[in-house]
Amino acid sequence: RKEVEQDPGPFNVPEGATVAFNCTYSNSASQSFFWYRQDCRKEPKLLMSVYSSGNEDGRFTAQLNRASQYISLLIRDSKLSDSATYLCVVNMGNAGNMLTFGGGTRLMVKP
Amino acid sequence: NAGVTQTPKFRVLKTGQSMTLLCAQDMNHEYMYWYRQDPGMGLRLIHYSVGEGTTAKGEVPDGYNVSRLKKQNFLLGLESAAPSQTSVYFCASSSPAGGQPEAFFGQGTRLTVV
């Protein structure tokens, strides 16, 4: 079983739609969680951290469920510019603050 | 404000050749990482470093060596390149300070081994 698992998609949605991604992680001792965004042929960039209480940044909402070991990302009112791959990232809390990446979920927003 | 810089950005190698990828960061970060990303797969950790002079193996270290002689630089070496090492390589850095360590990535090196 992969340490961090995501549905690879692609998710094809029309502009204005709401779309949600889930990610599961295997290590219950994981300490911190992130969503990164990666555009085609570019480096990953932090989209948002995920806090236990849930957090929102504009159209984006991230939530963490420690009991079930999953995190989610909700995007409301999708824009064409949201088209990208979204990477679920987990910090296991081990030496070096190593980040473990999921395989990514590809989102395509269409007019 | 350069952040994390990788050189070169592109390279084509013949099987058996060697090369070194350079990663430089100007954020005074303690931790540095090398990842590879293959089509349809997530980033996989090759090696990492928690400070100057220290390195450790990640998930897929075979065929690679690294050095961290200076805090700001992290070098990834391929001694004898193989076609299986064709990939996009990303360097990243982060700091242990603060509650939520964000990793900053370089722009990537696209390596093809023929």
pLDDT at A54: 85
Cα(A74)–Cα(A81) distance, integer angstroms: 15
Backbone angles phi, psi at B37, to 5 degrees: -130, 120
pLDDT at B16: 97
For chain B, residues with pLDDT lower than 70 are 1, 97-101
Contact yes or no for B44 and A101 at CB 8 A: yes
Pairing mode, if any, of strands A11-14 and A105-110? Answer: parallel
Strands (E), A1-111: 4-6, 11-14, 19-25, 32-38, 45-50, 55-57, 60-65, 70-75, 84-91, 99-101, 105-110
In angstroms, what CA-CA distances link A73 with A32, A100, B84?
15, 17, 33
- Contacts with A, B 16-75, CB within 8 Å: 31, 33, 35, 40-45, 48-50, 56, 58
Q: How many CB atoms lie within 10 A of CB B71?
A: 16
Q: How many CB atoms lie within 10 A of CB B16?
A: 10
Q: Is B3 on the interface with A (CB under 8 A)?
A: no
Contact yes or no for B33 and A87 at CB 8 A: no
Q: How far is CA A101 from the centre of its chain?
A: 10
Which residue in B4, B45, B100 has the most chain A C-beta atoms within 10 A of its own C-beta, making it the best mutation to test that interface? B100
User: Which amino acid appears at position B108 of this protein?
Assistant: G
Provide the residue-wise pLDDT of chain A in tens; the chain has 111 residues: 678 999 988 999 999 999 999 999 998 888 889 999 999 889 999 999 998 888 999 999 999 999 999 999 999 999 999 999 999 999 877 666 678 889 899 999 999
